[in-house]
Amino acid sequence: MKNEMKTFFAEQAWLQGAWARDVLLSVDATGHWCAVQADTPAAARTDATVLRGPVLPGLVNAHSHAFQRAIAGLTERKGAAGGDDDFWSWRDRMYSAALRITPQQLESIASLLYAELLAGGYTQVCEFHYLHNGVDGAGDPLEMSLALVRAAQRVGMGLTLLPTLYMRSGFGAAGLREDQRRFASTPESLMRLVEGVQRQTRGLEQVNVGFAIHSLRAVAPTPLQEIAAFAQNGGLPVHIHIAEQTQEVQDCIAHTGQRPIEWLLEHAALDARWNLVHATHTTEAELKGVSERGAAIVICPSTEANLGDGVFDYTGYASEAGLWSIGSDSHVTRGWSEELRLLEYSQRLTQRRRNVAAHCGGTASTAAVLFEGALAGGSCATALALGAIAPGQRADFLVLDATAPALLGIPAEQMLDALVFSSPGTPCRDVFVAGRQVVHQGVVSAGPSATPPWPELARHFTQAMTALWSQ
């Protein structure tokens, strides 16, 4: 269903990297901005809906594994066998949920997650989806994909679904292990899946698809190139986990003679459709190569910190003017302000200086540099016109609650600084996706008069968690 044309008025809105005053905002019937005018006289805004707080563009969450919301908070104890905890021991625990979750449970978990992400200021999520098969390793992969589509549609979240190619357990392996049976796919099965999702979602608002390649360790060169060529022909975005852990880098060198990103730059036709997730362990030449190809990096600060992966070389990548976005990945946190804060703080801790992003970006506000950077990478991650309050962009926006404790009394020009570096969360009063209100006064809802769905979402989520963890 198409929107009607709408007009809004904001006393303060974020336009072209700075706050503007008295902004008249017009949304066309397709849900895109058709006019944006600052400094409007009172007479020009008499019929507009007044937005009751500072307005920001919505942000893309460029990396999500929705089912991992079911393990948030449940992997924070050392293993019974002792020894060091790292990504690989965490992965074994994660598999316990991946092997049991049903399509209905996935829909319940993703519905609540997407509602949380909306309340946290995200308006589009890129779902890196590799739970294709049934619990027994069989069944129709489309069933799991459509569970995620229904979840996003239920709460009004924009969705870029990324069915993921996953073929082997590691470099040199012939196939998957038994505990990875749900991930099994081939280029042909993945192409059929993407085409099936496209058929099933034709006409649905704010849903599009792309491809993901799980990692170089999980996909051999020939199938990687096959799926990349298919994506290129369809103009679809491509995402890949890359260089997340040091062991992955060492294994890649041992089997290919090259580092992961080094190999990708030489053997894959990287361009603006490619999104390299994590890229935590890189060289100067690799970062330069990614930037020169126009590809983007997806940084997931809270998950990278939670798993002990390491710290992304933000300063080195910024020196190459590289594109990047953020993702919440395993969803140990669900608001973008915390991701940006963690990104900056990791740089401060390792470099022992303050306002690192501001010095890299050449402007006074660290929060502004981080926010603008995350916005810019969102379009690459989704292949959609997202990331700005400007004509032609989709009308995704947040209305902040200026009376929230973290923002109370803050000068207007420093509202974004306080949002990122004072608030324990994103104090969104209202959230709009394609001009349609999906959060009202902090509560996920189809609109001001709709019955809030949160109690039902919470009930279904709790039922799914009980079923998963009572076994």
Catalytically active residues are: 278, 329
CB-based contact 299:262 (threshold 8 Å): no
CA distance 304 to 87: 9
Strand, coil or helix: what is 335?
A: coil
Backbone angles phi, psi at 49, to 5 degrees: -75, 125
Helix axes 260-267, 246-256, angle to 10 degrees: 50
Cβ neighbours around 22 below 10 Å, total: 17
Contact between 207 and 153 under an 8 Å Cβ cutoff? The reply is yes
- Give the separation between CA 277 and CA 453, rounded to whole angstroms: 32
User: Which residue, among 327, 402, 382, has the nearest Cα to 55 in the 3D structure?
Assistant: 402
CA atoms within 13 A on the CB side of 292: 8
Nearest to 427 by CA among 339, 358, 337, 365: 337
Give dist(CA 168, CA 166) in Å, integer. 6
Burial (CB < 10 A; 0-12, 13-18, 19+), residue 2, is exposed
Residue with tokens 């308006």: 123
At 281, list the tokens: 């362990």
C-beta separation of 455 from 145 below 8 A: no
CA dist 148 to 64, 208, 375, Å? 11, 12, 24
- 259, 290 in Cβ contact below 8 A? no
- Say if CB 88 and CB 151 are below 8 A apart: no
